[in-house]
Amino acid sequence: MTSSPWSERSEHRLPAVIALLVALALYATLPSTFWPPLRFGVVAVGVVAMIPLIVLNPARMHRETRWSKYVSSGIAFLLVAANLVAFAQLVTQLVTSSSEDGPRLLLAALQVWLTGIIAYALVYWELDRGGPVTRRHAERASMPDADFRFPQDEDADAVKEVATRSSEKTGWVASYFDYFYFSLTNSMAFSPTDTMPLSIRAKALMALESATGFILLGLVIARAVSLLK
Protein backbone atom coordinates (compact mmCIF):
# COMPACT_ATOMS: atom_id res chain seq x y z
CA MET A 1 0.00 0.00 0.00
CA THR A 2 1.17 3.52 -0.68
CA SER A 3 1.31 6.26 1.88
CA SER A 4 -1.45 8.81 1.83
CA PRO A 5 -1.43 12.58 2.38
CA TRP A 6 -4.51 12.12 4.54
CA SER A 7 -2.72 9.97 7.08
CA GLU A 8 0.96 10.47 7.72
CA ARG A 9 1.10 8.09 10.67
CA SER A 10 -0.29 4.61 11.08
CA GLU A 11 -2.70 3.84 13.88
CA HIS A 12 -1.12 2.59 17.10
CA ARG A 13 -1.87 -1.04 17.90
CA LEU A 14 -1.82 -0.65 21.70
CA PRO A 15 -5.44 0.53 22.27
CA ALA A 16 -6.90 -2.42 20.37
CA VAL A 17 -4.54 -4.89 22.08
CA ILE A 18 -5.44 -3.57 25.53
CA ALA A 19 -9.14 -3.70 24.68
CA LEU A 20 -8.87 -7.29 23.45
CA LEU A 21 -6.94 -8.40 26.54
CA VAL A 22 -9.52 -6.76 28.82
CA ALA A 23 -12.35 -8.47 26.93
CA LEU A 24 -10.63 -11.85 27.10
CA ALA A 25 -10.01 -11.39 30.83
CA LEU A 26 -13.65 -10.46 31.45
CA TYR A 27 -14.82 -13.44 29.43
CA ALA A 28 -12.38 -15.87 31.07
CA THR A 29 -13.43 -14.89 34.60
CA LEU A 30 -17.14 -15.53 34.12
CA PRO A 31 -18.61 -17.93 36.72
CA SER A 32 -17.88 -21.63 36.32
CA THR A 33 -21.46 -22.24 35.16
CA PHE A 34 -20.55 -20.58 31.84
CA TRP A 35 -18.96 -23.55 30.02
CA PRO A 36 -15.29 -23.38 31.11
CA PRO A 37 -13.96 -25.39 28.11
CA LEU A 38 -15.47 -22.90 25.67
CA ARG A 39 -14.31 -19.89 27.66
CA PHE A 40 -10.72 -21.01 28.03
CA GLY A 41 -10.61 -22.26 24.46
CA VAL A 42 -11.69 -18.87 23.13
CA VAL A 43 -9.18 -17.08 25.35
CA ALA A 44 -6.37 -19.40 24.23
CA VAL A 45 -7.21 -18.88 20.55
CA GLY A 46 -7.40 -15.12 21.04
CA VAL A 47 -4.04 -14.87 22.78
CA VAL A 48 -2.25 -17.19 20.34
CA ALA A 49 -3.72 -15.42 17.30
CA MET A 50 -2.68 -12.06 18.69
CA ILE A 51 1.02 -12.96 18.75
CA PRO A 52 1.71 -13.01 14.97
CA LEU A 53 -0.32 -9.83 14.54
CA ILE A 54 1.87 -8.04 17.07
CA VAL A 55 5.00 -9.44 15.41
CA LEU A 56 3.79 -8.11 12.04
CA ASN A 57 3.05 -4.65 13.46
CA PRO A 58 4.67 -4.29 16.90
CA ALA A 59 3.76 -0.64 17.43
CA ARG A 60 1.99 1.10 14.57
CA MET A 61 -0.15 -0.69 12.02
CA HIS A 62 1.40 -0.04 8.61
CA ARG A 63 1.54 -3.57 7.17
CA GLU A 64 -1.25 -5.98 6.33
CA THR A 65 -1.44 -9.31 4.53
CA ARG A 66 -4.42 -11.43 3.58
CA TRP A 67 -3.78 -13.84 6.44
CA SER A 68 -3.34 -11.06 8.99
CA LYS A 69 -6.65 -9.53 7.93
CA TYR A 70 -8.40 -12.89 8.26
CA VAL A 71 -6.85 -13.51 11.67
CA SER A 72 -7.59 -10.08 13.12
CA SER A 73 -11.18 -10.08 11.83
CA GLY A 74 -11.61 -13.68 12.97
CA ILE A 75 -10.62 -12.83 16.54
CA ALA A 76 -13.19 -10.04 16.66
CA PHE A 77 -16.02 -12.17 15.28
CA LEU A 78 -15.04 -15.11 17.49
CA LEU A 79 -15.29 -12.91 20.57
CA VAL A 80 -18.71 -11.61 19.50
CA ALA A 81 -19.97 -15.16 18.88
CA ALA A 82 -18.57 -16.48 22.17
CA ASN A 83 -20.08 -13.58 24.07
CA LEU A 84 -23.48 -14.26 22.47
CA VAL A 85 -23.27 -17.82 23.81
CA ALA A 86 -22.45 -16.41 27.25
CA PHE A 87 -25.36 -13.98 26.85
CA ALA A 88 -27.76 -16.86 26.12
CA GLN A 89 -26.50 -18.75 29.17
CA LEU A 90 -26.80 -15.62 31.30
CA VAL A 91 -30.40 -15.03 30.21
CA THR A 92 -31.29 -18.61 31.11
CA GLN A 93 -29.65 -18.35 34.52
CA LEU A 94 -31.18 -14.95 35.30
CA VAL A 95 -34.63 -16.37 34.59
CA THR A 96 -34.28 -19.73 36.33
CA SER A 97 -31.77 -19.31 39.17
CA SER A 98 -32.57 -18.69 42.82
CA SER A 99 -32.17 -15.38 44.62
CA GLU A 100 -28.94 -16.60 46.24
CA ASP A 101 -27.29 -16.50 42.83
CA GLY A 102 -28.41 -12.93 42.19
CA PRO A 103 -25.23 -11.00 43.07
CA ARG A 104 -23.03 -13.44 41.15
CA LEU A 105 -25.23 -13.19 38.06
CA LEU A 106 -25.40 -9.40 38.22
CA LEU A 107 -21.60 -9.28 38.14
CA ALA A 108 -21.61 -11.76 35.25
CA ALA A 109 -24.08 -9.52 33.42
CA LEU A 110 -21.68 -6.60 33.75
CA GLN A 111 -18.86 -8.75 32.37
CA VAL A 112 -20.94 -9.91 29.40
CA TRP A 113 -22.07 -6.35 28.67
CA LEU A 114 -18.55 -4.90 28.76
CA THR A 115 -17.15 -7.78 26.71
CA GLY A 116 -19.82 -7.17 24.10
CA ILE A 117 -19.02 -3.47 23.84
CA ILE A 118 -15.34 -4.20 23.25
CA ALA A 119 -16.02 -7.09 20.86
CA TYR A 120 -18.44 -5.14 18.66
CA ALA A 121 -16.04 -2.20 18.63
CA LEU A 122 -13.32 -4.52 17.32
CA VAL A 123 -15.65 -5.78 14.59
CA TYR A 124 -16.63 -2.24 13.55
CA TRP A 125 -12.95 -1.25 13.58
CA GLU A 126 -12.01 -4.21 11.38
CA LEU A 127 -14.83 -3.79 8.85
CA ASP A 128 -15.24 -0.07 8.24
CA ARG A 129 -13.51 1.13 5.04
CA GLY A 130 -11.31 -1.95 4.86
CA GLY A 131 -9.94 -1.87 8.39
CA PRO A 132 -7.30 0.12 10.30
CA VAL A 133 -4.46 -0.29 7.79
CA THR A 134 -6.48 0.50 4.67
CA ARG A 135 -8.13 3.52 6.30
CA ARG A 136 -4.74 5.06 7.01
CA HIS A 137 -2.82 4.17 3.87
CA ALA A 138 -5.20 3.80 0.92
CA GLU A 139 -6.04 6.79 -1.24
CA ARG A 140 -9.61 7.89 -0.63
CA ALA A 141 -10.53 7.22 -4.27
CA SER A 142 -9.60 3.55 -3.87
CA MET A 143 -10.83 3.07 -0.30
CA PRO A 144 -13.65 0.53 0.21
CA ASP A 145 -17.14 1.85 0.85
CA ALA A 146 -17.75 3.14 4.36
CA ASP A 147 -19.87 1.18 6.80
CA PHE A 148 -20.23 4.16 9.15
CA ARG A 149 -20.47 7.91 8.74
CA PHE A 150 -18.79 9.95 11.46
CA PRO A 151 -19.53 13.63 12.19
CA GLN A 152 -16.08 14.62 10.90
CA ASP A 153 -17.06 13.27 7.47
CA GLU A 154 -19.65 16.04 7.11
CA ASP A 155 -18.04 18.96 8.93
CA ALA A 156 -16.20 20.55 6.00
CA ASP A 157 -18.94 23.16 5.49
CA ALA A 158 -19.44 23.91 9.18
CA VAL A 159 -18.17 26.97 11.03
CA LYS A 160 -14.41 27.43 10.90
CA GLU A 161 -13.55 26.05 14.33
CA VAL A 162 -15.50 22.88 13.54
CA ALA A 163 -14.49 22.56 9.89
CA THR A 164 -10.80 22.59 10.79
CA ARG A 165 -11.27 19.10 12.28
CA SER A 166 -13.19 17.67 9.30
CA SER A 167 -12.07 14.62 7.35
CA GLU A 168 -11.84 16.61 4.14
CA LYS A 169 -9.48 19.24 5.54
CA THR A 170 -7.36 17.20 7.93
CA GLY A 171 -7.61 13.66 6.57
CA TRP A 172 -9.16 12.51 9.84
CA VAL A 173 -10.03 8.82 10.02
CA ALA A 174 -11.52 6.92 12.92
CA SER A 175 -9.30 5.05 15.39
CA TYR A 176 -10.21 2.16 17.66
CA PHE A 177 -11.34 4.51 20.43
CA ASP A 178 -13.89 6.10 18.07
CA TYR A 179 -15.42 2.69 17.40
CA PHE A 180 -15.32 1.84 21.10
CA TYR A 181 -17.18 5.05 21.96
CA PHE A 182 -19.68 4.34 19.20
CA SER A 183 -20.19 0.77 20.45
CA LEU A 184 -20.63 2.02 24.02
CA THR A 185 -23.29 4.58 23.06
CA ASN A 186 -25.07 2.07 20.82
CA SER A 187 -25.22 -0.42 23.67
CA MET A 188 -26.61 2.15 26.11
CA ALA A 189 -28.85 4.25 23.87
CA PHE A 190 -30.05 1.32 21.71
CA SER A 191 -29.87 3.61 18.66
CA PRO A 192 -27.33 5.55 16.57
CA THR A 193 -26.01 8.70 18.19
CA ASP A 194 -23.53 10.87 16.28
CA THR A 195 -22.31 8.04 14.02
CA MET A 196 -24.66 6.54 11.45
CA PRO A 197 -24.60 3.06 9.87
CA LEU A 198 -24.48 3.02 6.08
CA SER A 199 -24.27 -0.64 5.08
CA ILE A 200 -26.64 -3.52 5.73
CA ARG A 201 -23.98 -5.41 7.68
CA ALA A 202 -23.36 -2.38 9.90
CA LYS A 203 -27.08 -2.03 10.61
CA ALA A 204 -27.39 -5.74 11.34
CA LEU A 205 -24.48 -5.69 13.79
CA MET A 206 -25.80 -2.59 15.50
CA ALA A 207 -29.27 -4.10 15.78
CA LEU A 208 -27.84 -7.26 17.32
CA GLU A 209 -25.76 -5.31 19.82
CA SER A 210 -28.68 -3.06 20.77
CA ALA A 211 -31.11 -5.97 21.12
CA THR A 212 -28.84 -7.97 23.40
CA GLY A 213 -28.09 -4.87 25.46
CA PHE A 214 -31.80 -4.09 25.82
CA ILE A 215 -32.67 -7.64 26.87
CA LEU A 216 -29.77 -7.74 29.31
CA LEU A 217 -30.74 -4.42 30.87
CA GLY A 218 -34.34 -5.51 31.34
CA LEU A 219 -33.38 -8.79 32.98
CA VAL A 220 -30.79 -7.15 35.22
CA ILE A 221 -33.33 -4.58 36.42
CA ALA A 222 -35.85 -7.35 37.11
CA ARG A 223 -33.26 -9.37 39.01
CA ALA A 224 -32.13 -6.33 41.02
CA VAL A 225 -35.72 -5.54 41.98
CA SER A 226 -36.28 -9.12 43.12
CA LEU A 227 -33.17 -8.93 45.31
CA LEU A 228 -34.46 -5.78 47.00
CA LYS A 229 -37.76 -7.39 47.98
User: For residue 160, what are the contacts with CB-CB under 8 A and spacing of at least 6?
Assistant: none
Task: Output 189-196 pairs: Cβ under 8 A, ≥24 positions apart.
Answer: 190/214, 194/150, 194/151, 195/148, 195/149, 195/150, 195/151, 196/148, 196/149
From residue 86, alpha-carbon distances to 19, 31, 97, 110, 164 in Å are 19, 10, 15, 12, 44
Q: Is residue 137 part of a domain?
A: yes
Give the helix/strand (H/E) hosting 11: strand 11-12
Give the helix/strand (H/E) hosting 57: none
Would you state the pLDDT for residue 190?
Answer: 62
Q: Is residue 51 part of a domain?
A: yes
The residue range of the domain holding 97 is 11-144+176-228
Structural domains counted in the chain:
1
The mean pLDDT values, 10 residues at a time, for the chain of 229 residues are 50 93 96 90 95 91 89 96 94 80 85 96 95 84 85 70 66 89 87 82 94 88 69
Task: Answer for the pair 9, 21: CB distance below 8 angstroms, yes or no.
Answer: no
Q: Is residue 128 part of a domain?
A: yes
CATH number at residue 49: 1.20.120
Would you state the pLDDT for residue 227?
Answer: 62
Would you state the pLDDT for residue 26?
Answer: 96
